[in-house]
A and B are shown apart, each in its own frame.
Chain A
Amino acid sequence: MSEEISMDVLKAVVLALDDKYIMEIRFGDFIASIPLSEDKPNEVKAAFNKLIVRLKGGPFQIELDDCGEDLFSQVSKEYLVQLNREIKEVYGEMKSNGLLNV
C-alpha cells in the first residue's frame, strides 16, 4: 500500500510535429519518445529501454496531460493503460530478481 502512495507519476504529452504525432514521456532530463503516426519499432524500443532503466530507480505510472478526444489522444490513452499495467508487472519482476538500484 505504501508503495502505491509513494509511486512517482511521469507526465506524457501528445505532440504534433507537421503531420507526425509522437507521445513524449518526460522524467528528469530524459525524454522517452514513442512515435504514434508511424511504425518505428527501434524508436519504441529506445523509449522502452529508458523506461526500464528509470524503473530500476523506483515504481512509476505515466499520466497523459491535456488529453483530448482526437484519434492520437485515444490511441495514447489506451496505449498508456496497457503500458502502465506492464510497467507494474515488470517492476515486480525486477524487484523479485534484485535488479533495483535501491
Chain B
Amino acid sequence: MKIDIHTHTRKCKSGDAPTREITPEDFCAVLTSTDVGIIAITNHNVFDLTQFERIEQLIAGDLQVWPGVELDVVDNDGSRGHLLIIVSPKLAKQFSTELLKLAANATPDEFTATIEEVLLAFDKLNPLYVAHYKKVPMVSESVLEMLESKTKNKNQVLKEVTNAISAGIYISHGHASIYGTDIHDWRKYKELSTGLPDLRLPVDSFEHFCLLLRKDPTTITTVLDRKTSEKIVLKPFPDDSALTITIYNDINVVFGPKGTGKSCLLKAIARHYSENGIDARVYESASDRLDELFDVKGRDLAINLNDYGINYCTNEIESLRNAVEVDVTSLSKYLNFFESKRTNKNAKRIKIKDIAPEEEGSRKRSFSETSAANQKVAEFLEFLYGSASVKNELSAEELSSVAQTLSNLLARLGRRKWEEFLGWKETVMLNSVIKIFRSEVARKTGMPELPTTTGFREYAINRIGIEMNSAEIIKGIDTEIPQQRDDVGSLGTSKGRLEYCTAFHFQNGSVSDSTLYSLSKVKKTPQKDFANYVRRIRNSTYSPELFQLIADLNEIEDVESIKTIQELLLFRRYFSLGGVSYSPSSGEASMVMLQKELGTERDVYILDEPERSLGNEYISDVIVPMIKDRARAGKIVFISTHDANIAVRTLPYNSIYRCHGGNGYSTYIGNPFTSDLVCLNDVDDRLDWRDISMKTLEGGKEAFGERGNIYGRS
C-alpha cells in the first residue's frame, strides 16, 4: 500500500495548472486504479469541505482520504515557505472552520500566515505538519525550528523532499522525511503513483499513523503481531546452547560481522523446518552449478507426447517390426480343380461352382459403425440424466423432450445394429458352410476343391496395415514440437530477460545437428537409421523389397530399445537472451539462480548472502522487490546479509544481529520500526538498529547515508 501526503484537487492560485482540478468522481476513479491506500488533499490555502465530503461518500472506505491544506507560511524576513497541514478525517469540519477563520476572506493568492498563527489555529487538532525541505518554496530553518519547538506533537513534524533518494539520505541523517506527488496533472497520476512510498506496516487511520511516527513500541508490536509469528528454539552452535527467537511470516534478516555464526544460524533454521516436515534449505550462491540446477543435460527431462497430440506409435512399431508376408493362393489349385472336374463324372452333378462366397468385410464394417453410434448415444443419454449442470439448464419438460428424441434414436440404432449383426454373421456362416461343403465334396469325390479366395484380400490387408503403421510413425516423427521457453529472470534493465529454452526434435532421418542429444538411451545413429528405414518401408509398401527392408530394420543396433517414437527424440536445452543462444557470466548465473530460488513456491526461504556476485542496482531493482513480494505473500524469508540494500530497504519485521564482544558471542533481536535491537540474554542491553545497521552493513555511517541506491532510484 502506498501513501501520498501531497495532492491538489483544485486550481486555487492563479499559477496553478488547470490540470490540477479534478471532480470527486474522477478522483475516486483514478485512485482506485492505483496502489495508493492513503491520500491527503492539500490544496493551496484552501480546504473544500463540500468536495472532501463528496469524495468520502464516493470512496466509501475503500481507501483513507485525509483532509489538509498547503499553506504559505512567512518568516520574519517576509520569505514564504510551504507547509502542509494534515488532520484526521474526523476533524474535517473543525479544520475547515479554523482555516476559514485564519484566511479571513483573503484569496488563495493573497493568503499568508506566520507559524504562530498556524500553531494557534491548528495545533489543537493534533495535525501532521509536512514542511517543504530542500524543496521550493522551502520553509526556512527558523520557522521549522519554531514549529518543532512549539508544537505539542514534535514527532508529527515531517520534512517533505522531492523523491525517494533524498528521503533516504535525510532519514539516514536523522530527519523524518517523506514525499508526495504534488500532482500537477491528474492524467499522469497513475504513472507517478508507482514511485510513492510504500507503507511497510499496515496503517488503520490517521491517528494510528501518528502513533507509528512516535515509534511507540506498543503500537509497533501490535502491528507486527498481526503477522503470524512463532517462537523457535535452535541449537545452531557447537556449544549446544539454545537460542529462542521469534520469527515472522515476513522478512527476517540476520546480519552482523563475518565469523559470528550467521550461516550456522541459517542451517539450524533449515533443520528446524525440515524436522517439522516443511521443505526448507539454505540457498547459497554457486554460479558454477547453473547448468546442473537447470538440468541442461536433461537427466530429468521428460515429455508427454500426448500433450502435443502425438501418437507414441507403440502398436505401430511393434506391428511393423513383426510384419510377415502373406501368401497368395496357388494358381495350380484352380487348374487342378477344373482339370479334375472335366474328368470326373460326378463333378457335373455337383453344383458347387454355383455357390460363390460373399463379401464379409463391408457387412462387418457396417455393424461396427452402427454399434459404435449406438454406444455413444447410450453414453450421452446416461450423461444427460446424471449431469447436474444439464438439469440446472433445462426444465424438466425440455430434458424429457431431448431424452425422448435420444431414446427413440437409441432404439432405432439398436434394431439396425441387430439386423447388421445378423447379416454379417449370416455371411460368415454361409462362407464357412461353402468352404466346408467344398472340402467335404472334394474329400468324398476325390476331386480337388475350388479355392474360396485368390489370397488378394489377405495380401492387400497385410500391406495396407504396413502402409498405415509406417505412415503413422512418419507422421509422428515429422511433427514439430513447439519450443518451450521459460522465463528465467532479469539480467538487469539494460540486458533484458534471460530465457531457458528446451527444444525437442524427432530424428526424422534428416537431422544432423551435433548440439542435439538423444533423450533416450538409444544412440543417435540407430535413431537415424530407424527413421530412414521406416520412411523407405512406407515408400515401398507395394514393392517386392518390402520385407527385405523390414528385415533390415530389425537388424539396426538396439532396435529392441525403440518401442515408441519417444526413443527417436532429440533435445537441446540452452539459455537465450533476445532470442539468441547466450552463456550467462558467473555474475549473471548468480542472478538467475537467486531468481529461480525466489520464484520457486516454498513456505520458507533461507538465503545465505544472496548479494554475493551481484551489483547494487540489480539487488535494488530485482532482488529486493522479489523478497518483498514473497513476504507480502505471507512466506517466511530468512536472509543473512552484509548488504544494506537488503537489510534496510526491505524493512524487515525481524532483524537478528550477531556479534562478538568481550563477553563472547551475542544475539540481538529487533526491527527498524522501533529502531531497537534487544539482547536475547539481557533485555536491558539494547543497541540502536539504525546505528548498528549503518556500522555493520557495507561500510560506515557516512557511506550508508549518501548512497542513493539504498533507498531506490528516482
Verify B331–A34 contact, CB threshold 8 A.
Answer: yes
Q: In this complex, what residue of A is CB-closest to B467?
A: A99
Chain A residues, Cβ within 8 Å of B542: 49-50, 52-53
Give bound CA distance, A93 to B357, whole Å: 18
Chain A residues, Cβ within 8 Å of B359: 85-86, 88-89
With A42-B544, A78-B353 known as contacts, the answer to whether A83 contacts B454 (CB < 8 A) is yes
Chain A residues, Cβ within 8 Å of B714: none
Q: Is A6 an interface residue (CB 8 A)?
A: no
Give bound CA distance, A74 to B339, whole Å: 10
Interface residues of A in 38-66 (CB under 8 A from B): 38-39, 41-42, 44-46, 48-53, 55
Chain A residues, Cβ within 8 Å of B468: 97, 99
Q: Is B120 an interface residue (CB 8 A)?
A: no
Verify B335–A82 contact, CB threshold 8 A.
Answer: no
Q: Is A36 an interface residue (CB 8 A)?
A: yes
Q: How far is the CB of B484 from chain A (nearest CB, A)?
A: 32
Verify A39–B456 contact, CB threshold 8 A.
Answer: no
Give bound CA distance, A75 to B335, whole Å: 6
With A86-B454, A92-B361, A99-B467 known as contacts, the answer to whether A41 contacts B330 (CB < 8 A) is yes
Chain A residues, Cβ within 8 Å of B360: 89
Q: Is B512 an interface residue (CB 8 A)?
A: no
Q: Is A90 an interface residue (CB 8 A)?
A: yes
Q: Is B633 an interface residue (CB 8 A)?
A: no
Interface-located stretch among B445-453, B485-493, B672-680? B445-453
Chain B residues, Cβ within 8 Å of A12: none
What per-residue 1/0 map shows which CB atoms of B313-329 lie under 8 Å from chain A? 00000000000000110
Q: In this complex, what residue of B is CB-closest to A73?
A: B338
Give bound CA distance, A55 to B353, whole Å: 28
Give bound CA distance, A88 to B358, whole Å: 11
Q: How far is the CB of A70 from chain B (nearest CB, A)?
A: 10
Give bound CA distance, A86 to B338, whole Å: 21
Q: Please tell me which one of the listed residues B361, B452, B544 contacts residue A93 in the complex, with CB atoms under 8 A apart.
A: B361
Give bound CA distance, A71 to B463, whole Å: 32
Q: Please tell me which one of the listed residues A37, A39, A50 contacts residue B330 in the complex, with CB atoms under 8 A apart.
A: A39
Verify B362–A89 contact, CB threshold 8 A.
Answer: yes
Total residues of chain B contacting the partner, CB 8 A:
37
Interface residues of B in 441-495 (CB under 8 A from A): 450-457, 459-461, 463-464, 467-468
Interface size class of A (residues with CB under 8 A): 35 or more
Give bound CA distance, A52 to B463, whole Å: 9
Q: Is A96 an interface residue (CB 8 A)?
A: yes
Q: Please tell me which one of the listed residues A39, A48, A49, A53 contacts residue B331 in the complex, with CB atoms under 8 A apart.
A: A39
Q: Is B264 an interface residue (CB 8 A)?
A: no
Verify A78–B331 contact, CB threshold 8 A.
Answer: no
Is chain B's binding surface mostly helix, strand, loop or mixed?
helix
What per-residue 1/0 map shows which CB atoms of A14-39 lie under 8 Å from chain B? 00000000000000000000111111
Verify B327–A90 contact, CB threshold 8 A.
Answer: no
Q: How far is the CB of B532 from chain A (nearest CB, A)?
A: 22
Q: How far is the CB of A26 from chain B (nearest CB, A)?
A: 18
Chain B residues, Cβ within 8 Å of A86: 359, 453-454, 456-457, 460
Interface residues of B in 347-366 (CB under 8 A from A): 353, 356-362, 365
Chain A residues, Cβ within 8 Å of B356: 81-82, 85
Chain B residues, Cβ within 8 Å of A53: 542
Q: How far is the CB of A27 from chain B (nearest CB, A)?
A: 15
Verify A92–B365 contact, CB threshold 8 A.
Answer: yes
Give bound CA distance, A51 to B328, whole Å: 14
Give bound CA distance, A87 to B456, whole Å: 8
Give bound CA distance, A88 to B362, whole Å: 9
Give bound CA distance, A75 to B464, whole Å: 27
Chain B residues, Cβ within 8 Å of A85: 356-359
Give bound CA distance, A96 to B362, whole Å: 10
Verify A71–B450 contact, CB threshold 8 A.
Answer: no
Verify B331–A89 contact, CB threshold 8 A.
Answer: no
Chain B residues, Cβ within 8 Å of A44: 328, 331, 455
Give bound CA distance, A42 to B460, whole Å: 14
Give bound CA distance, A10 to B227, whole Å: 89
With A36-B335, A75-B331, A78-B450 known as contacts, the answer to whether A83 contacts B464 (CB < 8 A) is no
Verify B332–A82 contact, CB threshold 8 A.
Answer: no
Interface residues of B in 54-73 (CB under 8 A from A): none
Give bound CA distance, A94 to B471, whole Å: 14
Chain A residues, Cβ within 8 Å of B544: 42, 45-46, 49
Q: Is B345 an interface residue (CB 8 A)?
A: no
Give bound CA distance, A50 to B452, whole Å: 22
With A36-B335, A45-B459 known as contacts, the answer to whether A82 contacts B328 (CB < 8 A) is no
Give 9 nearest A-B pairs by CB, closest first. A49-B542, A86-B457, A89-B361, A90-B460, A86-B456, A75-B334, A92-B362, A89-B359, A74-B338
Interface residues of B (CB under 8 A from A): 327-328, 330-332, 334-335, 338-339, 342, 353, 356-362, 365, 450-457, 459-461, 463-464, 467-468, 542-544
Q: A52-B542, A90-B460 are in contact. List 6 more A-B contacts (CB 8 A).
A: A34-B331, A37-B331, A78-B334, A86-B457, A89-B362, A97-B464
22 residue pairs bridging A and B, Cβ less than 8 Å apart? A39-B331, A39-B332, A42-B544, A45-B544, A48-B460, A50-B542, A52-B542, A71-B338, A78-B353, A79-B334, A79-B454, A81-B356, A82-B452, A82-B454, A85-B359, A86-B457, A88-B362, A90-B361, A93-B365, A93-B460, A93-B464, A94-B464
